[in-house]
Amino acid sequence: MMCSGIVCGKYKKEDMLSSVNPDGQTFGEALEKSGYVGDASNRFSAEKYAAMFELHVEQGPRLERRGIDVGVVENVIGMKAYRIKTYGQSDHSGTTPMDCRHDALFAAAKLLCILHEELDKVDPELVYTNGYIKVHPCMHTIIPDYCEFILDMRHVDPAVLKKCVAIVEALPKEIVGCKVEFEVAWARPTVPFDRKLVDIVKKSVDGLGYSNVFMNSGAGHDAQFVADVLPTTMIFVPSKDGHSHCELEYTAPHLCAQGVDVLLNAVLELDKAL
């Protein structure tokens, strides 16, 4: 999504090219080394295209669980992510009594329990994740003096995300003797896809006789950026056991082929109207 973000004006090209990986190599250096820098004259632009259809695996279990062939995607759901930090005091793990400790990791664990308990009450369609955590000094002989983690919250309805924000903002400013701070790490609004294109996809699926359902995308995609530039929509095919972003990610060839059938017919249907 880095490149689509640049092309659609969401990111600055120079910022992305100068971004650094854990080995200290910039994206620009890696791109140059790959031999695929490309030419700006080949760049996507709204003047050259009438619409965009993006075919993708669902990356979740909903289609397979319901035995449905194709997802007709209506939105990319909104999200808000917070970086939450706790500050304690480093001391020796073997000599500091438990009642004298200011353990930043323990404080973060307490906050995670509060967040999970409260967010679970908000809405059954809300998804949230704590997939990143950093601890300092990260040694088994030293009580942590600093911890940060990221809370990623996603829902199609802005009103639901507003409730989630209120839960974060209500977190205690101090817990188990540690100071608590939080800041917005990133956010995006719900991105609705072009209704005409969504309906064309639906017509295409129905015409082919594949079972289908309207659904939202919980993951981010190039289409969410392109939607600000020209009419856009997406088509989903099932993911085996719902796995994604891991080695088990898989979609059977015949399911991919069904998605391509839908894509082709949708493009041909749109072409008739141009």
How sure is the predictor about 197, in pLDDT bands with cuts at 50, 70 and 90? very high
Residues 7, 149: Cα–Cα separation, whole Å: 31
Helices (H) and strands (E) in the chain, counts: 9, 10
Q: What pLDDT sits at residue 99?
A: 96
Burial of 266 (0-12, 13-18, 19+ CB in 10 A): buried
Mean pLDDT over residues 208-237, rounded? 95
CA-to-CA distance for 169 and 180, rounded, in angstroms?
Answer: 11
pLDDT confidence of 146, banded at 50, 70, 90?
A: very high
Domain segments of the chain as ranges: 1-42, 44-76+191-273, 78-188
Q: Name the strand (E) or helix (H) holding 62.
A: helix 62-66
At residue 6, does pLDDT exceed 90? no
Tell me the average pLDDT of the chain: 95
pLDDT of residue 102: 98
Choose among 222, 231, 234, 188: nearest CA to 6.
222
With bands split at pLDDT 50, 70 and 90, how would you rate the model's confidence at 46?
Answer: confident
Residue 89 DSSP symbol? B
| CATH fold for the domain made of 44-76+191-273 | Aminopeptidase (3.40.630)
Per-residue confidence (pLDDT) for residue 62, from 0 to 100: 96
Confidence of residue 37 (pLDDT cuts 50, 70, 90): confident
Buried b (16+ CB within 10 A) or exposed e, 2-17: ebbbbbbeebeeeebb
Mean pLDDT check: name the lowest of 8-22, 118-132, 237-251.
Answer: 8-22
Predicted confidence at residue 44, as pLDDT, reads 80
User: At 94, is the pLDDT very low, low, confident or very high (cuts 50, 70, 90)?
Assistant: very high
Length of the chain, please?
274
| CATH of span 78-188 | 3.30.70.360
Average pLDDT for 226-232: 93
Q: Determine the pLDDT at residue 240.
A: 96
